[in-house]
Structure formats: C-alpha cells, structure tokens
Amino acid sequence: MIDMGHPAHVHLFKNAIWELQKKGHKVLVTARDKEVTIDLLKLYNIEHIVVGKIGSSKLDLIREWIIRDYEILKIAKKFDPDILIGMSNPCAAHISRILGKKSILMDETEHASFLHKVTYPFADVICTPSYYRKDLGNKQVKYNGSHGLAHLHPKYYTPNPDVLNEIGLKIDDTLIVLRFVLWGASHDTGQSGISDKVKFVHELEKYGKVLITSEIKLSSDLEKYRIKVSPEKLHDLLYYSSLYIGEGGTTASESATLGTHAIHISTTAKYCGVFDELHNYGLMWTFDDENGSIELAKELLSKPDLWELGKEKRKLFVRDHINVTDFMIWLFENYPESLSVVKQTPNFQDKFAAGEFL
C-alpha cells in the first residue's frame, strides 16, 4: 500500500508500481489532492483512492493528517497490506504501527524536522541517499542514488521532443524554466526565495525564452510567461531546456538529473545533501535569495554549448549511481531479508548500476 502526498511521489513510485504489478503483486495507492497529484495518477492509469485535500495553514495540515490517518486506517484494514510505503509519510508509519504491519519510507529532505518527529518513531525502515546529512539510527538504509534516479534513469525515461511542438517552440531555442512555489509545506515555514520576481524575469529573458511554472498566483506582468503544458510532459520540457532556475527544490534536482543546469533559490537549499551531490557534478547551485544567482545564470547562458555540456555531466552522474526504482522493487519484494543484505553488504546495491543504459 503506497500513500502519496505530492506530485513528486507519483513520479518516485510509478515505475515500481507498474513493475510490481507485472510480477503479480497487489498494490493499492491512496493519494492526497495536492496540485496535480490526482491528475498525474489518472494520466498514468494508476488506480487510487483520494484521501485528503491541501489546506492553507499549518493548523489545516495537522487537522488533515489526523483525518487522513483515520481514513487510511479504514482502507488499510480492508486491504490488509504486508507493507505500507510512502515518502516521509506519517500516515503510512502510523497505520503500520496500529495494524502491526511494516512500513518502508523514502526521504530526501533533511530539514523536514517536524514531519520527522511525528513520523519516524513509528516507521520500520527509512531509505535515504548515501549523501543524506542526518543520521536516523538503525532504521536508516542508505543507497547510492537520488529520488530523481527512480523515474529519470535512462532505463525508465526517454525524452520526447513533442512537448516543444505543443507550446510552439523549437529544439534549438534557448529555454529557461523558472519556478515559484507556495511555501506551504510543513518544512517551508519561515523560508523564502525570490523577492523581486518581475525584475528577475526581465533579466533572464535577455538570454532566452522564459517559461514560468508556478504554485502561486502571478501578477499580470508575469502571467504571459506561464507554461501551458501537460503535467506529465514537464520532464521533457526540462530535458530540452538550457537552464532551470527557481524556488522548487524537487524540480531543481530533477532538472539537474536530466542534465539541465539548475540554480535553486531557497533558504532551505543549504540543508539538502542531494543538492551537494549534484553540485559536485557541476549540475546544480544553491542560493538563499536571488543575489548572485542572476550573475551565475548569465555566465552559464553565455556558453553556446551549455545544453550539450549538461548532458555529458548527466552521463557521469548516472554512471556513478544506482537505478533507484530497481533497488526499491528488490527491497520491497524481499523484505525483511533484503534489509539484512543491504545492511551487512552495502556493495550489494552495485548490481543496480546503470550498466548498458549508459
């Protein structure tokens, strides 16, 4: 049973769901109505039960968690899962403990401290990248990869340039994807990103075509830049773009994983090991605010071979890390024996390396 609370979770688990179902396993998905989560599940024909809807305050979030716990408990009692799975998911952890089941959670967000406090005491296994900065104790399983390598690994992802035709662009256009976020997650409280959005856009458009994806309402000056593209094609657009810059950390790491240079502007960025790892490959940079970021963007965009350079860096990143979807499938299918193997023989996960997909 897999509970999803964010569109990124659909991408993280979708290939594992399909592969597990092909093998004859029964997979039940519950999902929170946040942004395009439900739209994506429908587009991918993943059967699901909608439980919960995003609110506008932290109090709404806590109230929603309580209601979701109760609703998911009723669903889980009927489905009777062996394992409950999620991304730092309190409901999966709580319900597994109530029903005497096991929970395996994924995590890539070190600074979600409040979420961790109400979730991890009840979880059985917490899977994190090897460069995750926090020590979560005996429950932690470290793997040599990132969430982006679950759905953007070349075994499972092939870019489709048709997305460019959909929005009237050409493959040789210089595209700059800019993202603004709502700052509504539990770990976003008190955090910030780009302050003068209009000035920022006007500076960037001197170097290419700016395309905005935004969780917030845009001013009339910026609305004309908003991307009108099907949500399942966003990764294709990111792949064919020259630069991603913005407040969304998930989109930033996905862009970098695709070989599109990324600049993440957020006061939360300094806490995440995945961003450090992508920076080591020259694919991603982080800033607390726009100061300094626009100069770096200009420097990058002045390189005529920026797009090709990013794709070469991507090959190195994929070569040096594992296929996370295949690792998850093996871990889920063979649990609890798989837990002992990965703990006692960390090099075992090398069998999930890219291999022929490079």
- Looking at the fold, whether 244 and 217 belong to one and the same domain comes out as yes
Q: Are residues 307 and 336 in the same domain?
A: no
Average pLDDT value for the chain: 92
Q: What is the CA radius of gyration of the chain?
A: 20
Do both 149 and 249 map to the same domain? no
CATH assignment of the domain containing 70 = 3.40.50.2000
pTM over 0.85: yes
- The tens digit of pLDDT for each residue in 35-85 reads 899 999 999 999 999 998 876 666 777 888 899 999 999 999 999 999 999
Q: Are residues 275 and 189 located together in one domain of the fold?
A: yes
Residue 356 has pLDDT above 60, yes or no: no
* Residue 351 in domain: no
Q: Do 98 and 244 belong together in one domain?
A: no
Residues 166 and 292 in one domain: yes
- Edge-first strand listing for the sheet containing 49-53: 49-53, 29-33, 2-4, 83-87, 102-106, 125-129, 140-143
Co-location of 124 and 231 in the same domain: no
Read off the pLDDT of residues 205-257 as tens digits, 9 standing for 90 and up. Answer: 999 999 999 888 888 889 999 988 888 999 999 999 999 999 888 999 999 99
- Residues 114 and 174 reside in one and the same domain: no
Both 202 and 254 in one domain: the answer is: yes
Quote the CA–CA distance of 339 and 87 in Å, as a whole number: 18
**Is 214 in the same domain as 309?**
yes
Considering the domain architecture, whether residues 38 and 88 belong to the same structural domain is answered as yes
Residue ranges making up the domain that contains 90: 2-153+323-346
Residues 195 and 310 in one domain: yes
Percentage of the chain exceeding pLDDT 70: 94
**Residues 13/4, Cβ–Cβ less than 8 Å:** yes
Dihedral sign, CA of 13, 18, 22, 25? positive
Question: Taking a C-beta distance cutoff of 8 angstroms, is the pair 287, 293 a contact?
Answer: yes
pLDDT in tens, 318-351: 999 999 999 999 999 999 999 999 999 989 999 9
